[in-house]
């Protein structure tokens, strides 16, 4: 087997493990820790500190490329990055509401569906009513079906847990919480899909990065990623600052145990940005069909890893077998949808 293919799939697998696991450390934060005291540092590390400190090691002329491209060129990656930041922020909220496995399934399903069709509708609307366009829409439909099935699993899970524990200690009905969490996860998926839209405007930036500064293709993609992350920092970090001020939780950064919280936030940020980096390293090594095959492999593995983490941390403990079967079915349907979308990319490559 071609060593490049082996190495490419290894990078894709590592990226998927990182992408499906970046929310896992949040399960080990003290339950009394306010949401913003974990996710605020996470967004600061992921969108500002890591790109600014490590970016110049990955991309030659990181800031010079942005300057050479000009404001009109970098504007759209920044704007859609801002929207992606809202999506990442609400994904963090959905983890707190409905757990890793259900949030990953719903978010990734919505993200894959809309992240596939929106860039095509913006840049190549003429392809919608073509064989390739029909395949894309079939993949999108499968992903949305996977979201619906996963949502059904969450409702059945809540119902089964309420039967086994009919009298909650706080006397609160958790049914509204599951619906709220699912709605947040779905909306976060729509907003996270803006990452793909932002990237679709990054071609001129990548050209400048490669032609003027001599960066390889995989490195130039990180240049666009940096712009998206910086745009996302405005919304995600801004919301966390708002929460810190509104809830007066700044003082928690001086409380005992904050070191563990900050360490977990840093691990989450490294996993998040590691997924992006490994994806960029892996795709070019997969040859002509690197994007399509790599995309299907990455998203499939990430969905599986995210749900495995949810099962391992006991999110489905005590849930009825029927609800577990539904979430497994939802995962399978999502993976089928990803593979259909990969076929559409293959058609484009051909």
Please write the tens of the pLDDT for every residue from 219-272: 888 888 899 999 999 999 999 999 999 999 999 999 998 999 999 999 999 999
**CA 150 to CA 153: how far, in whole Å?**
5
Please say whether the beta carbons of 114 and 195 come within 8 A: no
Residues whose CB is less than 8 angstroms from the CB of residue 299 and which lie 6 or more positions away in sequence, other chains included: 16, 108, 112, 338
Furthest C-alpha separation in the chain: 66
CB 150 within 8 A of CB 327: yes
- pLDDT value of position 281: 81
DSSP secondary structure of 140-162: HHHHHHHHHHHHHHHHHHHHHHH
Q: What single-letter DSSP state applies at residue 127?
A: G
- C-alpha 316/C-alpha 176 separation (Å) is 18
Structure tokens, 80: 């859609």
pTM, full prediction: 0.82
pLDDT at residue 135 tops 70 = yes
What was the pLDDT predicted at 298?
78
């Amino acid at each position: 087997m071609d060593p490049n293919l082996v190495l490419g799939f290894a990078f894709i697998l590592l990226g998927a493990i990182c992408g499906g696991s970046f929310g896992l450390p949040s399960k080990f934060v003290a339950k009394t820790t306010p949401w913003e005291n974990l996710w605020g540092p996470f967004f600061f590390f992921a969108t500002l500190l890591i790109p600014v400190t490590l970016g110049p090691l990955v991309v030659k002329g990181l800031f010079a490329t942005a300057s050479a491209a000009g404001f009109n060129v970098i504007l759209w990656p920044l704007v859609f990055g801002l929207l992606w930041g809202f999506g990442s922020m609400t994904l963090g909220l959905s983890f707190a509401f409905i757990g890793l496995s259900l949030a990953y399934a719903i978010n990734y399903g919505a993200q894959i569906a809309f992240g596939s069709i929106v860039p095509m509708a913006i840049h190549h609307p003429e392809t919608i009513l073509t064989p390739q366009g029909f395949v894309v829409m079939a993949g999108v439909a499968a992903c949305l079906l996977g979201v619906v099935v996963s949502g059904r699993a969450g409702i059945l899970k809540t119902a089964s847990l309420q039967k086994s524990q009919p009298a909650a200690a706080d006397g609160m009905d958790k049914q509204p919480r599951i619906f709220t969490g699912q709605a947040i996860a779905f909306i976060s998926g729509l907003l996270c899909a803006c990452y793909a839209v932002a990237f679709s405007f990054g071609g001129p930036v990548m050209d400048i990065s490669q032609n003027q500064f001599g960066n390889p293709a995989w490195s130039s993609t990180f240049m666009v990623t940096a712009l998206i992350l910086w745009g996302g920092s405005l919304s995600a970090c801004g919301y966390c600052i708002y929460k810190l001020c509104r809830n007066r939780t700044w003082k928690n950064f001086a409380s005992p145990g904050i070191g563990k919280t900050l360490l977990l936030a840093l691990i989450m940020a490294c996993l998040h940005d590691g997924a992006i980096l490994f994806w960029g390293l892996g795709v070019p090594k997969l040859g002509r069909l690197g994007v399509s095959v790599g995309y299907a492999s990455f998203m499939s593995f990430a969905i599986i890893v995210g749900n495995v983490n949810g099962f391992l941390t006991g999110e489905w403990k005590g849930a009825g077998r029927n609800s577990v079967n539904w979430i497994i079915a939802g995962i399978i349907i999502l993976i089928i949808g990803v593979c259909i979308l990969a076929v559409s990319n293959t058609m484009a490559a051909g």
